[in-house]
C-alpha cells in the first residue's frame, strides 16, 4: 500500500454523515463505488430537504406571505452559494436546471438556435457523455451544423494537435468535459478555452465529473458556459446549474415559456421576458432540491475541496495499484491526470457478469457503456466495469472490493 502522508481527513467522521453507508446489501456491508453515477447524500442535505417541507414549503418569487418569502430567500441563497462555489462574478450568471443534461440542452436550444446556422462547426470530443453529443446532433439535423470530433489516444488523452487543426473561421462552439466519466481523464480545459477564444469560438465545459472532485473557477478558466449536476456532488437528484457569462446570457432568447420567466404577458401589447437568470427558469422550480444543493456545497466546503481531492487521489492510486495486480485486467483510461474513476475490463469475464456477481458481495460498481459509447468503441469495447470513488470511501473498502473482484473472477474464468 502506498504511504498515506499528510492527509488529515477524518474519514470515519465523514462516513458518519452518510446514513446509507450503514446498510447491508445481500447480508454484506455496502461498499458503494458508483459515485460517478450518483454520490450518496449527507445528513445535512437530507435534513435541509426535510426542513424545507416541514417548515417553509411554498411557491417562490410571487408570494407575499412569510413562507413564500422564506422559500424565495433560501432558493436565491442557493444560487449565491453556487455562484461562490464556481467563482462566478454574479448570481445572475447561474441558471438553475434539472442537471447537466438540461443545462446543455438549454444552451443548444437557446444560444445554439440563435447563433448557429448551416455549415457552422461545433467541436466536441470523442470522450463526451451522450448528453454533450446528442443535443448537438439534434442541431445537426435541424440546422445543418457540422460536428467535428477531437480524437483520443490509447491512454484516453485528447489529441490537442488535432484540436488546434480543427479550429477555423466556421468554428462557433467547442464542447468538452472537464473530467471524463468513462475514463477519468482530467482535460486541459484552460488551454482548450484559450485556443477556442483565439479562434473567436465560444466554449461549453461539462463539469459534471469535475465539480465533485476539484475546485472550479469559471473566471480564471474564462469558460463561456459551465454546467454540472447536484446529485454527483452530494446534493439531491433533479437539480444542477448552468453558469454562463452575463453578457452571453443577456443575448440569449428564452428556450421554454411559462410562468416565472416573464415580466409581463399581454395579447395586445406583447409579452416581455424577465431578466437573467429567471428568463431561463420557466415554471415552478425544484425549490427544495436547489436548497439541498446549497447545503451539499456547504458540506463540501466544510471538509475543504483540496482535502477531499487529495483523499480521492490517494484512493485512486491505491485502487489502481490493487487492480493492476489482477491477472488479465486492463485499465481503460491511463491518462497522467485522472480523477477518481477506475474503468477496467478483464480477459475472459464480461463486465455485466462481474457487476452482477460482485453486487452479491455488497459491492456496487457500474458496468456498461457509461453513456459514452463513442469512446468505448474507440477502445474496441461495448462495456467496462467502473469503480468510482468519493470522499467517504476508504482503503479498506478498496481492498475488500479487489478481494471480491478476485473471488468473482475465480467463479467466471
* Residues annotated as part of the active site: 371
Give the C-alpha separation, 18 to 10, whole Å. 14
Q: Does 214 bind ligand PLP (CB under 6 A)?
A: no
Q: Which three cell numbers stand for residue 212?
A: 465533485
Return the SS3 of 73. helix
Return the SS3 of 373. helix
Binding segment for ligand PLP (CB under 6 A), chosen from 21-29, 159-167, 205-213, 331-339, is: 205-213
Q: Does 206 bind ligand PLP (CB under 6 A)?
A: yes
Binding segment for ligand PLP (CB under 6 A), chosen from 1-9, 201-209, 297-305, 315-323, is: 201-209
Q: Does 171 bind ligand PLP (CB under 6 A)?
A: no
How many Å is the maximal CA-CA distance in the chain? 74
Picking from 7, 17, 2, 40, the residue whose alpha carbon sits closest to that of residue 307 is 7
Least separation in angstroms between CB 186 and ligand PLP: 12
Backbone angles phi, psi at 85, to 5 degrees: -65, -35
Least separation in angstroms between CB 235 and ligand PLP: 11
Q: Which CB atom, from 181 or from 384, has the smaller least distance to ligand PLP?
A: 181
Q: Which three cell numbers stand for residue 15?
A: 462516513
Q: Which CB atom, from 34 or from 120, has the smaller least distance to ligand PLP?
A: 34
Least separation in angstroms between CB 411 and ligand PLP: 29
Task: Give the Å distances, CA to CA, from 269 to 254, 255, 261, 266, 308.
Answer: 19, 21, 17, 6, 54
**DSSP one-letter code for 242:** E
Q: Which CB atom, from 202 or from 370, has the smaller least distance to ligand PLP?
A: 370
Q: Does 83 bind ligand PLP (CB under 6 A)?
A: no
Q: Which CB atom, from 181 or from 393, has the smaller least distance to ligand PLP?
A: 181
Binding segment for ligand PLP (CB under 6 A), chosen from 202-210, 277-285, 340-348, 393-401, is: 202-210
Contacts (CB under 6 A) with ligand PLP, residues 92-111: 99-101
Q: Which CB atom, from 244 or from 361, has the smaller least distance to ligand PLP?
A: 244
Q: Which CB atom, from 109 or from 181, has the smaller least distance to ligand PLP?
A: 181
**Contact criterion met (CB below 8 Å) for 160 and 335:** no
Burial class (CB in 10 A: 0-12, 13-18, 19+), 268: exposed
Among 177, 185, 343, 388, binds ligand PLP (CB under 6 A): 177
Q: Does 343 bind ligand PLP (CB under 6 A)?
A: no
Contacts of 15 (CB under 8 A, 6+ apart): 21, 392, 394
171-177: strand order across its sheet: 94-97, 240-244, 225-229, 202-206, 171-177, 121-125, 146-150
Contacts (CB under 6 A) with ligand PLP, residues 364-393: 371
Residue ranges binding ligand PLP (CB under 6 A): 99-101, 129, 131, 177, 181, 206, 208-209, 229, 371
Amino acid at each position: 500500500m502506498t504511504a498515506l502522508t499528510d492527509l488529515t481527513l477524518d474519514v470515519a467522521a465523514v462516513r458518519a454523515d452518510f446514513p446509507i453507508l450503514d446498510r447491508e446489501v445481500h447480508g454484506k456491508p455496502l461498499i458503494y463505488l458508483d459515485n460517478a453515477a450518483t454520490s450518496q447524500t449527507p445528513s445535512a442535505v437530507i435534513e435541509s430537504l426535510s426542513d424545507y417541507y416541514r417548515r417553509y414549503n411554498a411557491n417562490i418569487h410571487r408570494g407575499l406571505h412569510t413562507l413564500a418569502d422564506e422559500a424565495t430567500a433560501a432558493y436565491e441563497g442557493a444560487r449565491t452559494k453556487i455562484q461562490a462555489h464556481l467563482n462566478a462574478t454574479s448570481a445572475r450568471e447561474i441558471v438553475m436546471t434539472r442537471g447537466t443534461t438540461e443545462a446543455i440542452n438549454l444552451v443548444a436550444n437557446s444560444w445554439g438556435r440563435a447563433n448557429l446556422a448551416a455549415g457552422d462547426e461545433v467541436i466536441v470530443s470523442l470522450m463526451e457523455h451522450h448528453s454533450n453529443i446528442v443535443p448537438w446532433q439534434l442541431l445537426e439535423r435541424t440546422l445543418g451544423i457540422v460536428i467535428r470530433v477531437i480524437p483520443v489516444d490509447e491512454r484516453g488523452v485528447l489529441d490537442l494537435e488535432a484540436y488546434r487543426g480543427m479550429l477555423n473561421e466556421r468554428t462557433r462552439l467547442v464542447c468538452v468535459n472537464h473530467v471524463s466519466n468513462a475514463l477519468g481523464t482530467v482535460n486541459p480545459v484552460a488551454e482548450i478555452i484559450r485556443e477556442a477564444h483565439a479562434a473567436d469560438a465560444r466554449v461549453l465545459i461539462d463539469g459534471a465529473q469535475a465539480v465533485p472532485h476539484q475546485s472550479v473557477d469559471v473566471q480564471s478558466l474564462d469558460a463561456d458556459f459551465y454546467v454540472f449536476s447536484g446529485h454527483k456532488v452530494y446534493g439531491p437528484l433533479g437539480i444542477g446549474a448552468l453558469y454562463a457569462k452575463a453578457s452571453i446570457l443577456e443575448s440569449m432568447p428564452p428556450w421554454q415559456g411559462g410562468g416565472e420567466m416573464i415580466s409581463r404577458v399581454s395579447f395586445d401589447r406583447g409579452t416581455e421576458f424577465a431578466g437573467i437568470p429567471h428568463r431561463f427558469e420557466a415554471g415552478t422550480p425544484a425549490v427544495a432540491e436547489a436548497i439541498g444543493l446549497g447545503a451539499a456545497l456547504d458540506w463540501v466546503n466544510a471538509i475543504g475541496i483540496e482535502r477531499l481531492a487529495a483523499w480521492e487521489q490517494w484512493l485512486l492510486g491505491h485502487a489502481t495499484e490493487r487492480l493492476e495486480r489482477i491477472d488479465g485486467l486492463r485499465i481503460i483510461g491511463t491518462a497522467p491526470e485522472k480523477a477518481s474513476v477506475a474503468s477496467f475490463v478483464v480477459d475472459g469475464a464480461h463486465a455485466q457478469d462481474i457487476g452482477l456477481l460482485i453486487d452479491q458481495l455488497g459491492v456496487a460498481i457500474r458496468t456498461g457503456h457509461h453513456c459514452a459509447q463513442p469512446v468505448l468503441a474507440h477502445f474496441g469495447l461495448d462495456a467496462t466495469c467502473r469503480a468510482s470513488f468519493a470522499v467517504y470511501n476508504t482503503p479498506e473498502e478498496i481492498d475488500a472490493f479487489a478481494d471480491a473482484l478476485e473471488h468473482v473472477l475465480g467463479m467466471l474464468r
